[in-house]
Structure 1
Amino acid sequence: MSAVKAKILFFYFGDENFRYGVAQVYLHVLNGLDKSRFEPYLVVTGRLASPIHGLSEDVHVVELNKPGLKKSFFSYVATIRKIKPDVIVSAMEHPNAISVLARWLSGVKAKLILTSHGVLSARIAHMWRKKEGLIISTAVKVFYPFADHLVGVSRYVRDDLLKFTNKLPPSSVIYNPVFPERVGREILPAEKEKGLIVTSSRLAALKCIDEAVRALQYLDEGYRLVILGDGPEQARLQTLVGQLGLKPRVEFAGYVDDPFYWYRLAEILVLPSMWEGFGNVLIEAMSCGCQIVANSQAGAPSEVLCNGEYGFLYEGGNAESLANNVLKARSEPKDRQSLINYASEFTDVRVARQYEQLFDSLLMDA
């Protein structure tokens, strides 16, 4: 007789496209879980525009078909009661607070893991109005202590939470899974295009893509920039490119399903973000032998790059400093094979095993 599988419920706030950030972390962890021991569920607050590309068929997907967290709350509670999970995994501040309440109201004695993917202090300072920031910081202080465990995607993220409450539950750091284990082995760098710089992110103000554009002014015409991603800042960035006379040297590629095509071609990836909880693109590009140039003041990138061992760190907000480090990355590059070997550690299976160990330890205490 086979052993009973532990039911693991991953709660995701979103709808339509399952693409950026938390969605990709969930995708890799769900795929990497040992399905002979765990039965994974993905509960989505909204309705997906299409089936999730690349998601294992062994993952049960439940769409609540509700707009927003408030309207999905009671459906979420009902779903917990129906599935009766052994462990609930939630991500980001709003859904985490809701998950604490939903577990309590459901009456199901599931273990609750809250995961933190962003730098809360930076989000409060730059993304939310003062009132909203106060609500979120209060929610963290009130609700987070009722979880069974907290996972930060970097030490920087976890330590930042301590600014808001000194009563965090037991915590650990689990770096993001970035690609399937097989991809980590199969991706090989192609012949690099000299002077090709790439940046990849959602085109939002906090990603500071304009800094990468401005840096081109300090580099000769042998350098060009390809911008991967879409978002609300695209029109402003296109206007800036025109104003600076850089149209022949900047390409907007939009959202691409296969960014590795560009990483294999590019010599350098730049990450000028104001802050990052982790920075998956660092590992993705590194796996293809790209040199990395990242903002030293963005939090986790310095940690992920081991304080410059695997990349170059520049003074954020200074386009000339970014350009100078691009030049340094070309003249004094990091050993390419060392970059590839380091990146190969960030696979779905390896990270899923870390989550499985956490599940096991929590369930042993149940």
Structure 2
Amino acid sequence: MLPKPTPMSFGANRDSWRPMKSKLALIAIPLDIRGGAETILNLVARALASRPDWDVEIGFLGGQIAGEVAGSHQYGIRRSYGIGGGKAMSEVLLASRLIRHRYDLVFSSHARVNSFLAAARSVGVLRSRRLVTRESTVLLDRFKGPRALAYRALYAAYGSQDMVVAQTSYMNERLHHVLPRRAIAKLCTLPNPVDEDLIVKMSSETLPDDDAKMFSHRPQIVWCGRLIEVKRPTIAIDVLAEVRRRTGEDYELTIVGSGPLEAELRARAGNLDLASRVNLLGQRDNPFPLFRASRAGMLTSATEGFPNVLLEMMACRIPGIVTTPCAGDLDKLSGLEISAGFGASEIADALMKVIRGSNRSALYGKTLSERSPGRFADMLLGAPWSYPGGQR
């Protein structure tokens, strides 16, 4: 394992760590946290850093408020930090740092960062051979009113990018209604990558004794994500109750994640007399051993840009995985069971199919093999279009 680099200020002492390298990439992220967009950005950083002719810097807008993203130091990736909490308007502080350097690739995946980088490139503050931005979610499906107007204002600055990436065909279609014409010409659909080899390696780690004991008692249904309204974790408990009622079997629900709905989840489990069958494990840096040990995986979201956790569950070879129809192109994931709707009964119907059916994990291989981080990075760099599921 390589020694961890000393965190530095954004763009500091750059020449001291660029020997024998010819290309420089900047991956811009608001905060050092784990999330769907952050996962993709880190996958791209690792894919580029593995190439001998690339130097890669992950530039966080905010200060160092969390530990390092697991594994990034192993690939020689530099990490730099701004100041504060990385909230709205913190991207403006990038200007004085960007103007001193020239990049070969700049990549980001948060709308306000995307907007700032596009505007900065338009006026010459950002100098990069290639600017690629990715959309993290279908924002105007999630937000209405003043917040939707604010996002429309951010989109108005788009256009100087070389590529604007939508995760699904549905997201692509929705973006046609909000992006300026000059940005629509750059819009393409590029399915999310997954690092299957890394996930398999991480999933093979031994479960802690308490987890191993818990999982040995009863079959587990695993749910993973932030405990927020759009993810609808509360309905997962209702689904558990319905499946237990229908099967008469003693299933448990393991919820991995943290967020403001934790107290509500505990109350809901108590009201349904399921407190001893709902395991709230909080945030885990490595949830994959839990996935590997589960009988089924479940996603209950109302809407998603694209739920990366489904790909992670597939890589862990969970025997059956169920999701709501919360994003486009889910039907392209081999072996996945999509519920007919968003209600607890409809999700339970889908879950019953995978519980009573055969192990589907052998079906996941095609999807996983098509979504390597290296191929994804090639597309960002403008390689000929060969990525499965991608479209211009």
Matches within 5 A, 1:204-283: 204-220=228-244, 221-283=249-311
Letter of the structure 2 residue corresponding to residue 217 of structure 1? A
Residues in 2 aligned to 1:74 and 1:197: alpha-carbon distance in whole angstroms:
44
Partners of 2:224 and 2:257 within 8 A in 1: yes
**Unmatched runs of 5 consecutive residues or more in structure 2:** 1-18, 207-211, 386-392
Q: Which moved more, 1:189-198 or 1:214-223?
A: 189-198
Q: Does 1:314 align with 2:339?
A: yes
Match of 1:154 in 2: 168
Residues 176-185 or 285-294, more deviating: 176-185
Partner of 1:7: 24
The residue type equivalent to 1:306 in the other structure is: K
- 1:349 and 2:374 are equivalent in the alignment: yes
How many residues align? The count is 348
Helix, strand or coil at the partner of 1:132: helix
Maintained 8 Å contact 2:196/2:315: no
Q: CA deviation at 1:306?
A: 1.9
Partner of 2:136: 117
Aligned to 2:224: 200
Deviates more, 1:266-275 or 1:328-337: 328-337
1:173 deviates by 2.4
Deviations along 1:47-91, one digit per CA (max 9) or x if unpaired, are: 123333210442222212144455534431122122311222121
Say whether 1:97 aligns with 2:115: yes
Whether the aligned pair in 1 keeps the contact of 2:121 and 2:160 (CA below 8 Å) is: no
Q: What TM-score results when the alignment is normalised by the length of structure 1?
A: 0.85
Cα distance in 1 for partners of 2:384, 2:77 equals 17
What are the residue-to-residue correspondences of 1:70-109 with 2, within 5 Å? 71-109=89-127
Q: CA separation in 1, counterparts of 2:263 and 2:29?
A: 30
Deviates more, 1:335-344 or 1:350-359: 350-359
Deviation at 1:122, TM superposition (A): 1.6
The percent identity for this pair of structures is 21
Cα pair distance change 1:345/1:189, threshold 3 Å:
farther
Corresponding residue of 1:55: 72
- The one-letter code of the counterpart of 1:123 is R
- RMSD over aligned Cα, in angstroms? 2.8
Give SS of 2:33's match. Answer: coil
Give distance in 2, aligned partners of 1:266 and 1:177: 23
Q: Residue 352 of structure 2: SS of its match in structure 1?
A: helix
Q: Structure 1, residues 222-247: CA drift from partner, whole Å, max 9, x if none?
A: 21100010011111111111111111
Deviation at 1:254, TM superposition (A): 0.8
Q: Check whether the contact 2:24–2:54 (CA below 8 A) recurs between aligned residues.
A: yes
Separation in 2, partners of 1:242, 1:84 = 57
Distance 2:92 2:205 in 1: 49
Whole-angstrom distance in 2 between the partners of 1:75 and 1:28: 25
Secondary structure of residue in 1 paired with 2:25: strand
- C-alpha distance 18-347 of structure 1, shift in aligned 2 (>3 A): farther
SS of 2:267's equivalent? helix
Amino acid at match of 1:281: V
Whole-angstrom distance in 2 between the partners of 1:329 and 1:178: 23
- Residues 61 and 143 of structure 1: is their aligned pair in 2 closer, same or farther, counting only changes over 3 Å? same
Distance 1:75 1:138, change over 3 A: closer
* One-letter amino acid of the counterpart of residue 135, structure 2: S
Structure-2 change in CA distance of 1:73 and 1:337 (3 Å): closer
Q: Hey, what's the Cα distance between the residues in 1 that align with 2:37 and 2:150?
A: 22
